[in-house]
Every structure is written in C-alpha cells, then in structure tokens.
Amino acid sequence: MINKNIVKFKSTPYLVKCKDSSTIDFLFIYPVKYNKKYLFYLSLMKQILLTTSFDYQTEEKYKKRYQKLMIIDESMYTKRLNNNLYIEFTLTVPNPNKISNYNLEEAFSFFVKTIYNPNVANSKFNEEVFEREKCYLKEKNLYNMKNVYAKSYQSFLNIVDDNGILKDNIYNNMDLIDTATPEGLYEVYHHLIQENNPIIIVYGNVDKKINNLITKYVHRNNKRIMVKKDYYHFLKPYEKVRVVEEKSKYNQSILYVAYKIKKIKREDQLYIVLIKNILGVGANSLIFKTLRVENGLVYSAKTWCNIYAGLLVVEAYIDKKSKKKVISKVENIINRLKDKKFLKTQIERILKDMKLDLIREQDNKRKHLVDFLSEKFDYGYNLETLIDFYSNMDFELLIDFIKRLKLDTIYFLEGEFDEKEKNI
Amino acid sequence: MKKKKIYKLKNGPQIVLYKDTSKHCTIASLFVMFGGKNKKIKIGNKNYKIPDGMAHFLEHLLIEHSIYGNILLEFENKSTKSNGYTTKDTTEYVINSVIDFEEDLVKLIHIVNLPSFNKKDVEETKKAIKKEKMMSKDENFEALEKLDYQTLFSTIEYPNILGEINDIDHIDYSNIKFSYDTFYQKENQILIVAGNFNIGKIEKIIKNTYDSIKKEKKLYQLPRLEEPQKIVYQEKNITRNVHMDYVRINYKIDIKNISDKDRLKLDFYLFYFLSYLFDSSSKTYNRLVKNKTCVYGINYSYQKTEDFFIIKIGTTTNNHNEFIQNVKRVIEKKETNQEDFELRKRQTIIAIILREDSFSATITPFIQNIISYNYYDMDKIEDIENFTFDDYKNWIEFLDFNNYSITKMLREKEDEINE
C-alpha cells in the first residue's frame, strides 16, 4: 500500500533535461522538520553562507571569486509547509557548450564549498561577520515594516490566524534575534545541513556524465531520503466574523476580506485554487470586473489563497469611503458562484485561458523544473493537472464546497487619502 | 530561425519586426513618443502647456474607452494578455497573443489611432487615476526622485507621470483632444512585433491598417531646453516615514556632444565603472560596511535624461557625511581596473547569449536601444568584444563629475509620527 504521507527521494541526483536551456541549475534541497528556533538562524545562515566562506572570508574576496567564475546566480531559499521545511540552495551557471572556455567544475566546487565549508572556526561562525549580518537582518525587518503593504499583511495574518501558524514568522518574533549566537548558528547549520542528506537536482542540457562531477565533490550516504509529509494546518473558522479596523498615517487604505472553509478536507485544496482563479486573475477576473470596471471602487485588487491553511483572501486597495461597498460586492460574488449555470461559464472562461497559458509556458524554459519540483515534492499544481481537474469537474461537490466557504475575517487599514479632498 | 526587419512606413510609424520561430506566442508593442516629460510644445509661434499626468491619462482613456470598449476586457475574452505603460519618455500599448495575432494587432493599432472617448469617459477615467495616485503616494522613492530633479535641473521639470490630484481635476476633453492630436500622429509611433509570425503577411496588415487611418498632420516643436551643466541646489531634504535616513549623490554628466552610438557604448562603460566602485565586491562597499556606515548595499544607477546622464549613488545610513565623502573620493579618483573591465565584458557577452532563454530578456534591451539611443538593433557580441580597456579608461577620464547634488530622505521624528 502506498503511504501518501511519505515522500520518497532517491539518493542519486535527479537529472531534469532541458535541451534548449543556456544555463545549468544545481539544486541541493535539504528536508527538515520545522522548529521555531530556526526562524532567525535560517535568515542569518543565508546571509553568511552566500557572502563568505572558509576560503574567502570577506564579502569582497567571496564576491570577486564569484564574479570570476561567471556565476549567474547563487541563492538559498526556504519553503515552509506547516511542519515541513525545505532548504534549497541553487547554483545557476552558463552551459559550457554555449560559452567558450567555461570551467564548470570550478564553479561547482565553489558552490559546494559555499554550502559545506563556511566561515567557521572552533564550531562557531566568524563573530564579526555574524554580528554584521545580525544587525543587517534587524534593520531590514524594521525597514520592511514601514512599508504599507508589509505592515498591513502582517497585521492581517495576526488577526486571521489564532493558532499562530501563519503569524509564526520573523516579524512577530523579533526578540529571538537577540538570543542568536555564532555558536548557536553553527549548531543549527551543522544539524540542518552538514548532518543532512540533500536531494540533488540538475536542470539543463546535461547527461549522466554530470554525476561524476557531483560524486567528486559531494559525499553523501546511499540511503533513500524519506520525508514525512505534514504540510497542512487548516485554520478553523471563527464562530463570528472577526472585524478589525485600524487607522494609519499612510495614504492608502487596504482591505482584506478572508474566507475559511467549514469542515475542510484535503481534497478541498483544488477547489480553493479554482475559486481563487475565478475571482482573481487578469482584467477579466470577477473581482477586477466587479470592483473596478463596473463599480469604480478600486484601482487594484487581487485574490490569493493558502491551500495548506485553507484560506481564501481578497485584498483590495481602496478609497477609505468604499469599504462597505467593496465587502458587500465580494460577498455577492461568492454567493453568485452558488448558481451552477454562472459557475459553469466562469470555469469555461478560465479553462480557455489556462489552455492558452499552457502554450505560452512553452516559451518559459524553467517550466520543466518548476513542474518537476511541484510533482516530486507534492506541493502546488501544474497547469496540466488543473486543466484536467476543471475539465472533469463534479459540480455538486464544487457547489457543496462553495457553500462551506465562510466569511471569516475582515481587516481594514484605513489611510488618510480621500479622493474628494484636494491638495492632500 | 531568427530574422529582423526594420523599416519606416511612408507617412507612418517606424516598424520593427523580429521573427523567432522557436516561440509560441507573439507580442506587439506600440510606442507613442509621448511621456511624462512632455510638458510644453510650440505650434507656430504659440507655446502650449501640457498638464502633468496627461500622457498617462490618455493611456487610460484609450484602453478603457476604445472603439471596442474596455480593451483589456476585449483582449482577455480571447485570452490575449494586454496592458499599457507610461514612462517619462513614452506611452506603450502591448499585447501578447497565442491565437489570431493578426486580428489582435489590427485592434491594437486601432485603439491607439481611432479614439472614441467622450466627455463622460474623461470624468470616469479621473476616478481610476485618482485611486492610482493614492497608491503611489506611499512610495517614498518617488518623492526623492522629485527632489533629485529640483536640485539638478533648472529647465527640465520632474516628469510627474501620474500628475497631482489638482492636475487630474483640471484635465478636460479639450486639452486631452489637443494632446492626442499633437502627439498621437502616426509618425510619432514605433511598432515592434516579436515572435513566431509570417513577416510578409504582418507587413501587409500593418500597412493596410495604417493606410486606412486618416489623420491630419499637425506640425509642432518640442522646446529646446538650454539646460546648463551646473546644478541648481547643492542639497535638499525631505522627511518621510522610513526606518533610517536614505542619502543619495546625484551626478549630472553632460553628454550633449556625444553621438547616440557612443552614448550606447557609454551606457555599458558606466555600468562597468559603477559596479567596480560600488558593488558588493568593491573596496568602497566593504569599507563602508565594515565601519558600519552602510547596513544595506549601495544602490547605484544611471539614466539618460535629455542630454545628460544622471548617475545616482545612494544608501540607507545615519552617517551621511562618511558616505558622501567616500563616494565623492572614489568617483573623483576615476579608478579603473583592466582585469575587472575584462571580467565585466565577459559577463556582458554571457548575458547576451543567455538572453535567448527568455523572450522578455531578448526584447526589453532591444526596445531600450531604440527608445534611449535611437539604435534600431540588438546588442551584438562582436560590439562588446571590440570594447578595449584604453577606450573605456579614456571615456571615464573624459566624463565631468564636478556637478552633483545631494538629496536625503530623513526619518520622521517619533513625535511627528505619533501626532
């Protein structure tokens, strides 16, 4: 019997071939179980690993070497899905077949050393570099929180999420940064990276020979990698709609209208994505058409969802006097979707768009990589899956889902701008 | 297979066709040489003032009240992506089609050239634009940009693309019609088509469509701005709701006597020069980070504004003087390095090769060459290979960095925030 809660990965690299690509991507992905203490350490790790190493102990030396090796990009990215965390390092370099005298091996070895030979001595990261990056991170977070969009988003998360899964982020845990130490960072790094076995993916016009390069520089055990999937943490709807309003000195007013799902089940995630797509993509979307084209209530509005939390959100940038009208229009749209005939037209509309997007996607050379990751790690959906699902839609189940959509949270950050008042 | 064709229609726009048979979609960008910077014109002996925000207003009006109705909806109905953008120099109308491109192209030319808006549409458009203005008012760097213009130029005004609320209120049908008739002439347009299409067929469609549009020719002159090399104010500050002060040095470099071809070359050279001095591998950046003057990186950029290159070097810092003195010192020294130059040249060549992977990466620099440097071609590897260190060094030596202003975005004091 297949256990759908376990994702298995082979110990040898996955080669994802794209013969037209002018670049080669090496991805090292470390699966980890989430722990709150990693919040700041992961951000610090990213800052330090990608700017210094044991061989190049200052940013000046590190970046000079990086440039000399003609590296196109080197990044570290963390994807958190409830209790699962994937730490992904990527190296993008030119394909040596396209560039004369390109030394792929030197670039790859630099990348491996970036990950495995950091600026560490006596089981702690270099103190000077650590303190600098800690200071940078603190300042950056404070800086970001002055931005109206970041500020309103954080406030919204704190209101919509009583359990703290969504709001469990660095902005709400600023005190943790002061407890971070170079020794603590090393301990976390050693556990998450050095003691861990990465899933390796190579993307581009490559063949099996690339394995020799990987084997030469990366020493891993031959065990298959098993990840226990714990991606979901559905937010429970509040008994009564939670309404929070705040005044601010910004010009902009921002409104969040959030829906949660009663009696949510995992199968609902495809429906959440469907409703999000009907409501919120492009000029022909229901939200844009209703709020801007037909009623002139917004300049811009978008719909987004979090399938792992069971959350569907309309976010609108509005004039402060339009709040009530916008909420009522959003509610009307959701209610209209309960009408099968109307719903059918909407699905046909987005299906048509998606089929053409599928053709457009062929011009995007990274599509194969994105699709490979979402399939292998079992997160997100590619266009083909969505088209197949929407084409064979069971309308009874869909309408049952829409009936379970419950208006849950309204957050309004009121700005000062009023379009009728001049000279503001 | 890739093929290019560039020509000018008789009494019509400049046409750029770029065929790439590997692509699955086709894009068309129709540029009108009317942007936020166009504030004054002369017709005969009479001077006219164009209200701030006019080019952007027209973009909205033509898109939302075209002969096909709201063209965004019209295009989206058949899953064609479309949009409009106004910059300081141009207004762009763009489509991205997968099916029936020819039909979409005709519509694109029509919406720009066959206006159908009325007085009621003008009033309706004002509402949307005021909301857009509201969103932009929280953008701190827009306010700083305005300050940069005030300090640098005496005759070139800040291209207030959206206009202020008062400007928007004062736009009416007659001044819109006047601006439209003046700037939307066929000769004032550039049409770029890129993707997988039949060149002969598209050429014919473009010709027939433009031929069927009758527009009266209106002669006008753009003002000759006698902008001096000197700056206007040494320093200006604004106060905003930011976490830390932002400080910027703006260099005003006169390029009046430099040809378009050399300006394009200089564009690359400036990038090499500024990257060498201020990127994360530079001595200056690392020194300023070490002594805690900079917490974040150093932002450096340059843009062509009329006959000037404006170079901006800024950072978030509380130690204003240390930052300014360091930047001034290294700029005045004009230090160049041959190894670094060769490295960046190679990086440019690789970047040009890699552009093949992305349609937008291919097209965007091409359009930039046309709009900014009147160069109707793509960057070519052989051109970059011909760059020499001596030439680069001579050009950097030639540039006059004596004219600069300082602009600062200062953090509001706590009592101001809590008021």
Sheet holding A298-306, edge to edge: A242-247, A405-414, A253-261, A311-318, A298-306
Closest-CA residue of chain B to A70: B347
Which residue, B160, B178, B211, sits at the end of a domain?
Answer: B211
* A346-386 pLDDT per residue, tens: 999 899 989 999 999 988 888 899 999 999 998 888 899 99
Which residue, B179, B211, B243, sits at the end of a domain?
Answer: B211
| Long-range Cβ contact pairs of A151-158 (< 8 A, separation 24 or more) | A151/A248, A151/A250, A151/A413, A152/A254, A152/A256, A152/A411, A152/A413, A155/A244, A155/A246, A155/A411, A155/A413, A156/A256, A156/A258, A156/A313, A156/A409, A156/A411
Residue B294: closest CA among A147, A176, A140: A140
Q: Which residues of B touch A424 (CB under 8 A)?
A: 137, 165
pLDDT for res B415: 52
Mutate one of B20, B81, B131, B242 to test the A interface: name it (highest A CB count within 10 A): B131
- The partner residue sitting opposite B243, judged by closest CB among A142, A296, A319, is A142
Mutate one of A145, A293, A302, A363 to test the B interface: name it (highest B CB count within 10 A): A363
* A26-42 pLDDT per residue, tens: 999 999 999 999 989 99
Q: Which residues of A touch B75 (CB under 8 A)?
A: 283
Residue at A362: amino acid letter = Q
Give the C-alpha separation, B359 to B349, whole Å. Answer: 17
Closest-CA residue of chain A to B74: A284
How many H helices and E strands in chain B? 16, 13
What confidence tier does A3 reach under pLDDT thresholds 50, 70, 90?
A: low
| Long-range Cβ contact pairs of B114-117 (< 8 A, separation 24 or more) | B114/B67, B114/B213, B115/B61, B115/B62, B115/B66, B115/B180, B115/B184, B116/B65, B116/B66, B116/B67, B117/B61, B117/B62, B117/B65, B117/B176
- The partner residue sitting opposite A284, judged by closest CB among B23, B73, B137, is B73
Which tokens hold the place of B356? 């093949």
* B36-70 pLDDT per residue, tens: 999 999 999 999 999 999 999 999 999 999 999 99
pLDDT for res A253: 92
Chain A closest-CA separation from residue B22 CA (Å): 8
Q: Are residues B117 and B181 in the same domain?
A: yes
B224 lies in a domain?
Answer: no
Structural domain for B268, as ranges: 235-418
Give the C-alpha separation, B377 to A273, whole Å. Answer: 43
Chain B closest-CA separation from residue A146 CA (Å): 6
B11 lies in a domain?
Answer: yes
* B173-192 pLDDT per residue, tens: 999 999 999 999 999 999 99
Closest-CA residue of chain A to B339: A68
The CATH number linked to B32 is: 3.30.830.10
- pLDDT of A421 higher than 60: no
Q: Are residues B10 and B135 in the same domain?
A: yes
Sheet holding A84-94, edge to edge: A14-17, A199-204, A23-33, A84-94, A73-81
- pLDDT of B416 higher than 60: no
Give the C-alpha separation, B103 to B210, whole Å. Answer: 14
Give the C-alpha separation, B397 to B408, whole Å. Answer: 28
Give the C-alpha separation, A38 to A36, whole Å. Answer: 5
Residue A271: closest CA among A168, A394, A362: A394
SS3 of A129, please?
helix
A281 with A353: CB under 8 angstroms?
yes
* B68-105 pLDDT per residue, tens: 999 988 898 888 999 999 999 999 999 999 999 999 99
Q: Mark residue B206 as left, alpha or beta (left: phi above 0; alpha: psi -120 to 50; beta: remaining).
A: alpha
Whole-complex ipTM = 0.90
Q: Are residues B246 and B206 in the same domain?
A: no
Which tokens hold the place of A378? 């079992």
B202 lies in a domain?
Answer: yes
pLDDT for res B5: 94
Q: Are residues B178 and B239 in the same domain?
A: no
Q: Are residues B127 and B59 in the same domain?
A: yes
Is there a contact between A283 and B73 if contact means CB atoms under 8 Å apart? yes
pLDDT for res B235: 98
B325 lies in a domain?
Answer: yes
Is there a contact between B98 and A415 if contact means CB atoms under 8 Å apart? no
SS3 of B385, please?
helix
* A291-300 pLDDT per residue, tens: 988 888 888 8
Q: Are residues B192 and B75 in the same domain?
A: yes
- pLDDT of A116 higher than 90: yes
Say how many CB pairs under 8 Å bridge A and B.
149
Q: Which residues of A touch B354 (CB under 8 A)?
A: 22-23, 72, 94
pLDDT for res B404: 98
Is there a contact between B243 and A51 if contact means CB atoms under 8 Å apart? no
Is there a contact between A59 and B356 if contact means CB atoms under 8 Å apart? no
Q: Which domains does chain A have, with CATH numbers?
A: 6-228 (3.30.830.10), 242-414 (3.30.830.10)
Which residue, B211, B246, B268, sits at the end of a domain?
Answer: B211
- pLDDT of A424 higher than 60: no
Q: Which residues of A touch B77 (CB under 8 A)?
A: 284
pLDDT for res A251: 87
Give the C-alpha separation, B59 to A293, whole Å. Answer: 16
- pLDDT of A144 higher than 50: yes
B228 lies in a domain?
Answer: no
pLDDT for res A423: 40
Chain A closest-CA separation from residue B44 CA (Å): 35
Compute the average pLDDT of residues B324-329: 98
- pLDDT of A266 higher than 60: yes
pLDDT for res B418: 42
Residue with the two structure tokens 């909205």:
B60
pLDDT for res B132: 87
* B247-295 pLDDT per residue, tens: 999 999 999 999 999 999 999 999 999 999 999 999 999 999 999 999 8
Residue A40: closest CA among A32, A30, A50, A48: A48
- The partner residue sitting opposite B283, judged by closest CB among A60, A72, A300, is A60
Q: Are residues B273 and B312 in the same domain?
A: yes
B35 lies in a domain?
Answer: yes
Q: Are residues B132 and B276 in the same domain?
A: no
Q: Which residues of A touch B316 (CB under 8 A)?
A: 139, 143
Give the C-alpha separation, A351 to B161, whole Å. Answer: 37
Q: Which residues of B touch A22 (CB under 8 A)?
A: 353-354, 356-357
B108 lies in a domain?
Answer: yes
- A164 or A132: which leads in pLDDT: A132
- The partner residue sitting opposite B135, judged by closest CB among A23, A300, A360, is A300
Compute the average pLDDT of residues B9-29: 93
* B100-120 pLDDT per residue, tens: 999 999 999 999 999 999 999
* A48-80 pLDDT per residue, tens: 999 999 999 999 999 999 999 999 999 999 999
- pLDDT of A415 higher than 70: yes
Q: How many domains does chain B have?
A: 2
pLDDT for res A285: 83
* A205-255 pLDDT per residue, tens: 999 999 999 999 998 777 889 999 999 999 999 999 999 999 998 888 999
SS3 of A73, please?
strand
Is there a contact between B358 and A365 if contact means CB atoms under 8 Å apart? yes
What confidence tier does A174 reach under pLDDT thresholds 50, 70, 90?
A: confident
Residue at A260: amino acid letter = K
B221 lies in a domain?
Answer: no
- pLDDT of B219 higher than 70: yes
Q: Which residues of A touch B94 (CB under 8 A)?
A: none
